[in-house]
Amino acid sequence: MIVEGYDRAVTADGTRPPEPVPGARLLFSLDPAVAYLNHGSFGAVPIGVQRAQQRIRDEADVNPMRFFQPGLVERVAHTRRHLAAFLGADPDGTALVGNATTGVATVLGSMRLSPGDEILHTDHGYGAVSLAVERECRRTGAVARTVPVPLGAGDQEIVAAVRAALRPGRTRLLVVDHITSPTARLLPVAAITATARAHDIAVLVDGAHVPGQLPVAVDAIGADFWVGNFHKWAYAPRGTAVLVVAQKWRDRIEPLVVSWEQPTGFPRSVEFQGTLDYSPWLAAPTGLFTLRTLGVEAVRAHNAALAAYGQRVVGAALGVPPDELPHPGGASVGMRLVPLPVGLVTDQREAHALRQRIADELAVEVAINAWRGQGLLRLSAQVYNRAEEFDRLARQLPAFLAGR
């Protein structure tokens, strides 16, 4: 059911939007005519970080030889140590990569799978990661299996579903999301990892949405591999991510491209790619400086509260009862889901088309996914957002969907 004539008010359960973070909106160069409610897809780079990155590009262009040799490798290592410390990860087991999917591809290519081996992943996984798993299975003769996990499953149910799907002796790798992309769920990755490791099954945690959004101690999770993007919630330039590898695997990691750092092994063999643009990585600490200046905990609390508010007002406008709005599984998650009317979106092609129409006709950026044939609208909240932007979407969306 879609509710006509929605008007802003405190939600029925008393949910109120948080107070804006003072001055935060001015830190970004986003188009003020667009309600950008989709920070989770590509992030948004603060102006100060953009300028820091440009200074590094200028430095490279003034004298490329001086920039690339001999100190670049150590500058990258210094950045890596800074980012690893923020995540609670061993810097010697952390490599900078272009994005989480690149880290996943690096792990898959280093597993040395054989026919009969198996990769297990859930049906909440990121599409490109699932495609990478399928490609590696085609290349090696391994088999990919999917564990179905209900959208509203609790932590114990999720762990039990994964445990039941493991096949010791066949399952070589379990791929599990820390925060899922299509369904915005925080999964109990430490408990899942412990379950798999008890059967000597390696675990790869896709933490693409974690850096900056959640407090995390990566090493304490106990996973064999962990990947995460800094360009989503940690204000780094796009193209900044990390691959964290447990000690036992480090000498087995093969980079996707061989470079002059190949003899030094992981992590430098993965990081150094000749004439790659290293400016996103070198500017990433400026992003963390911006986050810390705003207040890490204040930003997380604001984003989670505003996302919850947005979910409630948009859900109310579409006639979704509050108890049917999916919970993210954690209080700090800055992304929330609103189920769309049944039959509106049944596959990703329709999801992409609807997202584009909302962007073009309503000037609102959101994410829409088709999950198990159900359309899910994903809302992200960031410090540059205001409650009024979610209110505007709530006012406009019912009539828009009804008239499509």
Mean pLDDT of the chain: 95
Residues 307 and 284 in one domain: no
- pLDDT value at position 8? 47
Point out the domain boundary residue: 227, 254, 289: 289
For 367, the domain range is 295-402
74 and 181, same domain (yes or no)? yes
Please name which of 234, 203, 196, 195 lies closest in space to residue 216, comparing C-alpha atoms.
234
Task: Indicate whether 278 and 308 sit together in one domain.
Answer: no
Residue 8 lies in a domain: no
pLDDT grade for 159, boundaries at 50, 70 and 90: very high
The two tokens of residue 50 are 């953009």
pLDDT for the residue 230: 98
Instruction: Assess whether pLDDT exceeds 70 at residue 404.
Output: no
The answer to whether residue 331 scores a pLDDT higher than 50 is: yes
pLDDT at 298 over 50: yes
Residue 127 domain-assigned (yes or no):
yes
In a domain, 376, yes or no: yes
pLDDT at 5: 42
Per-residue confidence band for 7, with pLDDT thresholds at 50, 70 and 90 = very low
**pLDDT for the residue numbered 12:** 55
Confidence of residue 2 (pLDDT cuts 50, 70, 90): very low
Same domain? For 124 and 253 the reply is yes
CA distances from 272 to 29, 97, 278 (A): 31, 9, 9
Percent of the chain with pLDDT over 90: 93
The Cα 82–Cα 297 span in angstroms is 19
Residue 151 has pLDDT above 60, yes or no: yes
Per-residue pLDDT at 158 exceeds 70: yes
Give pLDDT tens digits for 336-357.
Answer: 999 999 999 999 999 999 999 9
- Confidence check: pLDDT of 289 > 50: yes
Answer yes or no: do 258 and 334 share one domain. Answer: no
Based on the domain organization, do 345 and 205 belong to the same domain? no
How many domains is the chain partitioned into structurally? 2
For residues 256-267, give the mean pLDDT: 95
Average pLDDT over residues 211-224: 98
| pLDDT level of residue 9 (50, 70, 90 thresholds) | very low
Range in 26-35, 67-76, 119-128, 173-182 the model is least confident about: 67-76
Per-residue confidence (pLDDT) for residue 4, from 0 to 100: 43
Q: What is the mean pLDDT of residues 50-66?
A: 97
Q: Are residues 354 and 224 in the same domain?
A: no
Q: What number is the average pLDDT over the span 55-81?
A: 95
Mean per-residue pLDDT, 99-125:
97
Same domain, 209 and 243: yes
**Average pLDDT of 270-292?**
96
The whole-number pLDDT of residue 14 equals: 67
Q: Average pLDDT of 309-317?
A: 98
User: Is residue 3's pLDDT more than 50?
Assistant: no
User: Are the CB atoms for 394 and 35 separated by under 8 Å?
Assistant: no
Tell me, what's the pLDDT at 135? 97
pLDDT at 13: 61
301 plus 284 within the same structural domain:
no
User: What local confidence, expressed as pLDDT, does residue 15 receive?
Assistant: 74
Residues 220 and 300 in one domain: no
How does residue 69 score in pLDDT terms, banded at 50, 70 and 90? confident
User: CA torsion sign, 393 to 395 to 396 to 401?
Assistant: positive
Whether residues 186 and 309 share a domain: the answer is no
Tell me, yes or no, whether 351 lies in a domain: yes
